[in-house]
């Protein structure tokens, strides 16, 4: 199932010193943090703030080309999370033909803002994101008995223990 999302904020992550965009569920409380590049953060923030440049930026140029050839963005979808990398799809229509284009989430979001296209996130991505977040916070992602057992063993290890073992 897809969940409609909106942009809650664009901030700097104090730990990684990287821009982060927070998507929030339109009809719920779920959020999704996505770390993005500085240029993409600028493209998103400038559109949110209504900043206009004297020359078209990349996402503005792409929108202008789409307008000229009658391509409409129907929606964007954050569709996967693999190896800490988010994936997105841009769903387009041109002359009655539906197309789906692979994209980075930041580029898809920047285009969605410029075209007023809705942003969606799959339930699977939200689930995977929570699992990654839990792992970062030290909560075992594997909630089975064996997963809990290994979590206990790892928590009891001291750095000095590693010197005892030869490779």
Highest mean pLDDT among 47-51, 116-120, 154-158: 116-120
Asked whether residue 165 carries a pLDDT value surpassing 50, the answer given is no
Q: Which residue has the tokens 């990349």?
A: 58
Query: Residue 74 has what pLDDT?
Result: 98
Angle between helices 105-115 and 58-68 (to 10 degrees): 60
pLDDT in tens, 41-72: 999 999 999 998 999 999 999 999 999 999 99
Exposure on the CB side of residue 98, measured as CA atoms within 13 A: 4
Mean pLDDT of the 114-138 span: 86
Domains with residue ranges and CATH for the chain: 2-141 (3.10.690.10)
Give the Cβ contact number of residue 94 at 10 Å: 12
- Among 107-111, 123-127, 161-165, the minimum mean pLDDT is found in 161-165
Mean pLDDT of the 152-161 span: 59
């Amino acid at each position: 199932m897809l969940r409609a999302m909106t942009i809650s904020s664009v901030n700097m992550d104090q730990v990684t010193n990287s821009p982060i965009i927070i998507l929030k569920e339109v009809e719920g409380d779920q959020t999704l943090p996505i770390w993005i590049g500085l240029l993409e953060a600028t493209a998103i923030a400038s559109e949110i703030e209504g900043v206009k440049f004297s020359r078209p930026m990349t996402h503005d140029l792409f929108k202008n080309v789409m307008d000229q050839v009658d391509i409409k963005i129907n929606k964007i979808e954050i569709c996967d999370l693999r190896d800490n990398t988010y994936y997105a799809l841009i769903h387009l229509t041109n002359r009655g033909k539906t197309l789906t284009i692979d994209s980075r989430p930041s580029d898809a979001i920047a285009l969605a803002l410029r075209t007023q296209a809705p942003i969606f996130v799959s339930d699977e991505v939200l689930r995977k994101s929570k699992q990654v977040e839990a792992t970062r916070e030290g909560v075992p992602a594997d909630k089975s008995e064996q997963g809990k057992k290994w979590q206990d063993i790892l928590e009891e290890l001291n750095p000095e223990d590693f010197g005892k073992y030869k490779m």
